[in-house]
Amino acid sequence: MASNALIVGLSRQTALQRELDVVANNIANLNTTGYKADGTVFSEFLNANSQFMPPTQRVSFVQDRMSWHDMSQGTIQRTAGPLDVAIDGDGMLVVQTARGERYTRNGALQLNNVGELVTLSGDKVMGENGPITLQQTDRDIVITKDGTIKVREGISVNSDSTRGKLRVVTFASPMSLQKDGASTFAAPDGVTPQPVPDANINVVQGALEKSNVRPVIEMSRMIEVTRAYTEISTILQQQSDLQKNSIQQLAEVPA
Amino acid sequence: MRALSTAATGMMAQELNVQVISNNIANMRTTGYKRQSAEFQDLLYEHVRRIGTQTSTQGNILPVGIDLGGGVKTVGTPRLMTQGTLNPTGADLDLAVRGEGFFKVLMPDGTFTYTRDGSFQMDNQGRIVTAAGNVVQPGVNIPTNAQSITINSQGQVSATVPGSSTPSVLGQLVLTRFVNKAGLQAIGDNLFVETPASGTPQDGTPNTDGMGDIQQGNLEAANVEAVTEITNLIAAQRAYEMNGKVISAADQMLQSTSQLMR
């Protein structure tokens, strides 16, 4: 069954191409705030038992089974922006998009023209009681550790007014979240966000969480992928030569 | 191969990043300049195997799927509107705002622009103007024989005239603030214009209603920090290189495939 070797090799090459796609996406997002790296997992795929294929001759193929998100903490970099927040530890911000509720670790927040707290894509960031709106005369914004947003109103120097509290949620299995582009995650059906208890929220104002992609790991994965791919190409080449030679030699009719 | 185009988006993003950083560094000594940062987001994902699909009639569902991302996009270059340090210059018409608010400037075409650059001058009619000769609002006329111009923290302009021992009030400067000052658009010459994102301008007297106060004889330096910019530049350059490596890896793989056929 010479053709099986070709197909098994092909299944591995297809999987490797996918892996390189994932690595490329990680490297492209090396500087993306709040980005979480992806990994791939391959599994063996046995072809079905059938009357044409006795159990001793079953062939195993490679199948890429899943990509997973590395939800580990990225480095927290100081930016000094009053509306830049990084979440140290567990938790995600809740964003109201046109497609529904989304979750993000990208805390580069902005205000819109009516003073509402929004993400860079203009989607509203949810507080515990809906969107958070700042007044025209507010200044000196302070975001406390538990996500409470306080401002000084007008010229008053001694009293803080609270404008809202960021809604910070977590998931029992963050792996099951689906990436939705624009640095957001979507929760599939049946996965519900749980509020993080106030004592466990650790919001850092004036800082952003950088991407958690580790360049060294990605570079070595990339080398591994290229090497494996070229190796299989060589095997495929040898298989093809084998077939070619056998056809030539067997079909040789002595004169 | 998707990796090629994915890495290309990464290279384009880092190129833009370097462009933004170089503009910050170029304006390190520009009065009233506010630094920009390039912000990125990941592009749309192709969900090859969607999370949550049923895998059997018993109702088993996929706990994880295959998401293939398409790279990175620049989502914006927001301006960091924080206070810059005040550098004393001693000049009478060098003003700096400490806190919220922009100086309002009338342009020749009748529109208003806003600036944090308070290096003002006097023109031939005794008006306070910007370095480009545009009148700072509301126009304050200073008599030619006026001495020792004083602008207090509330923006009140006063001067003594020969023959009088008490200074006389000549006018009152206004400051303008926006609900979203990061939404202002820079038009060059240290000037900003109102946009739909910034909200409507709200004029007010300095040092009241949350407006900043005016510091005479000072200029606001750019809020660019050299160390931050240089480290960002290094990170951007390395990221660019790595994306280039991905392209050569994808190229190598394609090459080994094409060599299969002889």
Residues B32, B81: Cα–Cα separation, whole Å? 10
Residue A82 has what DSSP assignment?
T
- The percent of residues in chain A predicted with pLDDT above 70, rounded, is 91
The better pLDDT of the pair B247, A252 is held by B247
Q: Indicate yes or no: CB of A27 within 8 angstroms of CB of B100.
A: no
The predicted pLDDT at position B222 comes to 94
SS3 A13: helix
Burial string for B160-197 (b: 16+ CB within 10 Å, else e) reads: beeeeeebeebbbbbbbbbbbbbbbeeeeebbbebeeb
Residue B84 has what DSSP assignment?
P
For residue B4, which residues of chain A lie inside 8 Å, CB to CB? 24
The predicted pLDDT at position A207 comes to 93
For the whole model, what pTM was predicted? 0.84
The CA distance from A98 to the nearest CA of chain B, in Å, is 15
How many other C-beta atoms can be found within 10 angstroms of the C-beta atom of residue A224? Answer: 13
Q: Indicate yes or no: CB of B80 within 8 angstroms of CB of A81.
A: yes
The predicted pLDDT at position A243 comes to 86
pLDDT, tens only, A128-156: 998 999 887 787 889 999 999 998 876 66
The CA distance from B1 to the nearest CA of chain A, in Å, is 7
Which residue from A121, A154, A222 is facing B245, i.e. has the nearest CB? A222
SS3 A152: strand
Confidence of residue B249 (pLDDT cuts 50, 70, 90): very high
The predicted pLDDT at position A1 comes to 45
Amino acid of residue B196:
P
Residue B75 pLDDT greater than 80, yes or no: yes
Residues B235, A220: Cα–Cα separation, whole Å? 19
Strands A92-97 and A124-127: antiparallel
pLDDT, tens only, B111-161: 999 999 999 988 888 889 998 889 998 888 888 888 888 898 898 888 888
Burial string for B18-41 (b: 16+ CB within 10 Å, else e) reads: bebbeebeebeeebbbbbbbbbbb
Can you list the alpha helix ranges (DSSP code H) found in chain B? 2-26, 226-258
The predicted pLDDT at position A228 comes to 92
Which residue from B3, B13, B210 is facing A139, i.e. has the nearest CB? B210
pLDDT, tens only, B14-45: 999 999 999 999 999 999 999 999 999 998 88
Secondary structure in 3-state letters for B53-68 = CECCCCCCECCCCEEE
Q: Indicate yes or no: CB of B51 within 8 angstroms of CB of A138.
A: no
Lowest mean pLDDT among A41-45, A51-55, A202-206: A51-55
The predicted pLDDT at position B15 comes to 94
Confidence of residue A54 (pLDDT cuts 50, 70, 90): low
Helix, strand, coil proportions of chain B in percent (round to 5)?
25, 30, 45
Q: Is this prediction's ipTM beyond 0.90?
A: no
Burial of A202 by CB count in 10 Å (0-12 exposed, 13-18 middle, 19+ buried)?
Answer: middle
SS3 A128: coil
Residues B111, B249: Cα–Cα separation, whole Å? 54
Residue A2 pLDDT greater than 60, yes or no: no
Residues B262, B260: Cα–Cα separation, whole Å? 6
Q: If residue A238 lies in a helix (H) or strand (E), which one and from where to where?
A: helix A215-250
Nearest in space to A34 (alpha carbons), one of A63, A76, A65: A76
Which residue from A68, A111, A139 is facing B100, i.e. has the nearest CB? A139
Lowest mean pLDDT among A35-44, A103-112, B249-258: A35-44
Residue of B nearest to A139 (CA): B210
Residue B164 has what DSSP assignment?
-
Q: Indicate yes or no: CB of B245 within 8 angstroms of CB of A183.
A: no
For residue B46, which residues of chain A lie inside 8 Å, CB to CB? none
Mean pLDDT of A78-101: 91
- The percent of residues in chain B predicted with pLDDT above 70, rounded, is 98
Mean pLDDT of B199-226: 89
